[in-house]
Amino acid sequence: MKKVIIGLTGASGSIYFKKTIEILSSRDYFIHVIASDNGKKVFEYELEENFEEFITKFDNVKLEQNQNMFSQTASGSFPIDGMMIIPCSMGTVGKIASGTSDSLLIRAADVCIKEQKKMVIAFRESPLSLVHLNNLTLLAKTNTFLNPLVNYNYNKPKTLEEAIEQTVLRNISYLEGSIEESIIWKKK
């Protein structure tokens, strides 16, 4: 069973996080979720659903406490296959790029990068400032997969849910090492 960390921040786009958890939980994954306080609040606001009740629906998902720096996910000796932060705020991008490690979410990302594990930053911000671009450039130099949360239209999704799923599958495909498969999205 693969082990991954999925982070949630306060950027808009909680539906992408929800779809990621739903897809990964149906596969051979054990998922450690780390959510910022604002991430939980935005999730509940946007989706009108209790965050912790959503997480406890899944047997293979463990909610980590973002202030618990003694969590096993804070250590480079903890074996994981990769990490994704979806949606990722620009504040979180900046903290990861500067290596602040002031919360479990930022520390886990720092560890993932230093251990050269697969890392996906699915960011949500528009327009991008020079500060944002500089921080994203620093992360790109670490081989972090940077994917803006935009929906693709070349596969002619029929619904918004199909468009969201396509974006999520692209991120998951990178974690699984098969980004080419995400580009050739399932045809309806």
Report CA-CA distances (Å) from 83 to 128, 144, 161: 23, 10, 23
Express as a percent the part of the chain with pLDDT over 90: 86
Looking only at the bridges linking them, the beta strands covering 82-88 and 2-8 are: parallel
Q: Is residue 168 part of a domain?
A: no
pTM for the model:
0.93
Q: Give the pLDDT band of residue 179 (cuts 50, 70, 90).
A: low
Judged by phi (left if over 0) then psi (alpha if -120 to 50, else beta), residue 101 lies in: left
Q: What is the mean pLDDT of residues 5-27?
A: 97
pLDDT at 143 over 70: yes
Each residue of 150-175: pLDDT tens digit?
888 888 899 999 999 999 999 999 88
Q: Is residue 6 part of a domain?
A: yes
pLDDT at 10 over 60: yes
Helix extents (H) in 48-159: 51-55, 90-98, 104-114, 130-140
Full residue range of the structural domain in which residue 144 is found: 2-152
Q: Give the pLDDT band of residue 182 (cuts 50, 70, 90).
A: very low
Return the CATH number at 77: 3.40.50.1950
Judged by phi (left if over 0) then psi (alpha if -120 to 50, else beta), residue 143 lies in: left
Strands (E), 127-179: 145-146
Each residue of 69-118: pLDDT tens digit?
999 999 999 999 999 999 999 999 999 999 999 999 999 999 999 999 99
Q: Respond yes or no on whether the N-terminal peptide bond of residue 127 is cis (omega within 30° of 0).
A: yes
Each residue of 51-80: pLDDT tens digit?
999 999 999 999 999 999 999 999 999 999
Q: Is residue 81 part of a domain?
A: yes
Q: What is the mean pLDDT of residues 27-55?
A: 98
Q: What is the mean pLDDT of residues 29-53?
A: 98
What type of residue is 29? Y
Listing DSSP states for 39-74 in one string gives HHHHHHHHH-S-HHHHHTT-TTEEEEPTT-TTSGGG
The total number of structural domains that make up the chain: 1
Q: Is residue 13 part of a domain?
A: yes
Contact 43, 73 (CB under 8 A): no
Q: Is residue 176 part of a domain?
A: no
Q: Is residue 21 part of a domain?
A: yes
Q: Is residue 185 part of a domain?
A: no
Length of the chain measured in residues: 188
Q: Is residue 187 part of a domain?
A: no
